[in-house]
Amino acid sequence: MTYNLLKSLLPLMERYEQENAGSDNLHEFLRWANKDQKEVSSGNRAQLQIPPGENLEGVLGKYIVFLYRYARTYVKKALEDTSLSHFDDFAFLVTLFVDQSLSKTVLIQKNIMDKSSGAEIIKRLIRQGFMEEFPSEMDKRSKMVRLTESGTIALMQSFEKMGQVSMLISGNLNESEKILLFELLHKLHHFHLPIFMEQRNESIQDILKSGRA
């Protein structure tokens, strides 16, 4: 064990004792530490190089959109010599590769896509012979989809290049930064997913009023 957390706490504890002589109350220390770290965070925010007229949240949103566009550019290059045309094709096939078979609705939802766009992707993949539909055993009126042999082959042929894209998207982040980014994106995903599933037809104002944000 390296006790890194304890090592980072010791300087904080020393400062607390210097500023609050004679106090050894744990709750008072935790309250002080929480206030101190909030002040540090506020200071860090003020030091960020945010362009005039913009705010931190707006810049974060912009960089997320930029990252999405970078990724799609890399994916387009990676798929040039494969049977797949778009990232969404790859994403839908990967989802079926993992889950084996799904209803069309669930497949679209798992890829965070609106129904009409998702339905067009499924139609295209069926037309290309990469996916096939069949009746649900639970509800004969519902259609399920699964990979065909051709779909599996096309997916396998694209895995190596898509793995290279993943490495490129991670850029110059070190291992700890990648883990931190994963944790932050995972947190945001679980914040936005219920909004997408339950409130995507509502206005931004109504979503904010619902208390989710």
What mean pLDDT is predicted for residues 145-162?
94
Q: Write out the CATH class of domain 56-171.
A: mainly alpha
What mean pLDDT is predicted for residues 157-185?
93
HSE-CB at 87 with a 13 A cutoff on CA atoms is: 16
Residue 51: pLDDT over 90: no
What pTM, to 2 d.p., does this model score?
A: 0.71
In the chain, the DSSP E strands lie at: 101-103, 131-135, 143-147
Confidence grade of residue 40 (pLDDT, cut at 50, 70, 90): very low
Residue 17: pLDDT over 80: no
Domain ranges, ordered by start, for the chain:
56-171, 172-213
Residues 6+ positions from 200 with CB-CB distance below 8 Å? 114
